[in-house]
């Protein structure tokens, strides 16, 4: 991957696959972030709290988290001497190519609403199958021999077929949530009122808590301030609207900025390019 802005990550290749340990820290450390592609995150060993926008879980060996493009997520490492995981990222354009009219490989990612924690738990046999395919995929992606690109797509297809079958068998898994209710409710309120006023005063009136206290609880759990998250969330939504061809001026007001100069400046700070240039790059 490559970091592109503050809370947004651009995938430098169509498919990425890494089998990591504690020597390869998770991207962005304790900061919640999102990226422009899908992610499969399998924990093999260690202790990790995984948070999305509204839910959190203590991950166990075999927990496979499925993350959609632009969904914010955050892994907080609890055990610093052991952290083994497999992380596979790929762009939505890849799914379009390897899916068919009969088989939609993105189906496993659509079992829960956007932003909610979606995972499957793999048994030992499934873990070994997944790991074996992931190692082969990683090797193929780094190979320059004839057919390596085709082999990479075939291996990713194999992994996604396995995951879709696993999710179909056990689509809903109950788990003990670890996200404080105030933080979860704050996520939900921001999601519903993203284009409206989201000042601490507004949140105070809604939740009947001191705004500073709300922000402190949020930062303690997620790793960034409430204002930083609101800005990142608005910019993520702006990216999606710009990709759809909506004019940057309209996107500004649809995402709650209400001032184009402020929107353009903030977008440039977060993403690295202006809204207009971003739209030109992604709507060719």
In this structure, is residue 225 part of a structural domain?
yes
Q: Is residue 186 located within the same domain as residue 209?
A: yes
Q: 135, 169, 203: which is the final residue of a domain? A: 169
In this structure, is residue 36 part of a structural domain?
yes
CB burial readout 157-166, b (16+ within 10 A) else e: bebbebbbeb
**What pTM does this model have?**
0.88
According to the model, what pLDDT value does residue 131 have? 97
Q: What are the backbone angles phi and psi of residue 169, rounded to the nearest 5°?
A: -70, -40
Low-confidence ranges of the chain (pLDDT < 70): 1-6, 25-30, 115, 169-172, 284
Q: Is residue 108 located within the same domain as residue 209?
A: no
In this structure, is residue 176 part of a structural domain?
no
Q: What are the backbone angles phi and psi of residue 51, rounded to the nearest 5°?
A: -115, 140
Q: Is residue 161 located within the same domain as residue 187?
A: no
Q: Which domain holds residue 269?
A: 181-282
Q: Is residue 112 located within the same domain as residue 196?
A: no
Half-sphere exposure of 256 (CA within 13 A, CB side): 19
According to the model, what pLDDT value does residue 32 have? 87
According to the model, what pLDDT value does residue 28 have? 46
Distance CA 70, CA 30 (A): 18
In this structure, is residue 175 part of a structural domain?
no
Q: Is residue 112 located within the same domain as residue 206?
A: no
Residue 264: give its domain's CATH number: 1.10.10.60
Q: Is residue 160 located within the same domain as residue 205?
A: no
């Amino acid at each position: 991957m490559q970091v592109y802005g503050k809370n947004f990550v651009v995938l430098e290749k169509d498919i990425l696959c890494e089998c990591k340990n504690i020597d390869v820290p998770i991207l962005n450390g304790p900061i919640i972030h999102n990226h422009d592609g899908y992610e499969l995150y399998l924990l093999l060993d260690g202790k990790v709290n995984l948070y999305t926008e509204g839910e959190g879980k203590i991950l166990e060996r075999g927990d496979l988290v499925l993350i959609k493009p632009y969904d914010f997520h955050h892994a907080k490492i609890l055990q610093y001497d052991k952290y083994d995981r497999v992380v596979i990222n790929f762009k939505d354009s890849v799914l379009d190519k390897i899916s068919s009219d009969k088989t939609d490989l993105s189906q496993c990612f659509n079992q829960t609403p956007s932003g909610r924690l979606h995972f499957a738990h793999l048994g030992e046999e499934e873990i070994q199958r997944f790991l074996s395919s992931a190692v082969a995929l990683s090797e193929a992606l780094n190979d320059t021999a004839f057919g390596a690109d085709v082999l990479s797509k075939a291996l990713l297809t194999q992994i996604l077929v396995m995951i879709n079958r696993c999710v179909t068998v056990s689509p809903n898994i109950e788990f003990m949530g670890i996200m404080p209710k105030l933080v979860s409710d704050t996520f939900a309120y921001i999601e519903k009122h993203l284009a409206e006023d989201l000042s601490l005063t507004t949140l105070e009136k809604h939740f009947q808590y001191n705004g500073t206290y709300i922000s402190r609880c949020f930062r303690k759990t997620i790793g960034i301030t409430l204002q930083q998250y609101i800005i990142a969330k608005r910019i993520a939504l702006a990216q999606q609207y710009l990709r759809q061809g909506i004019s940057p001026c309209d996107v500004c007001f649809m995402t709650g900025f209400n001032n184009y100069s402020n929107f353009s400046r903030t977008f440039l700070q977060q993403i690295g390019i202006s809204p207009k240039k971003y739209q030109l790059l992604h709507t060719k």
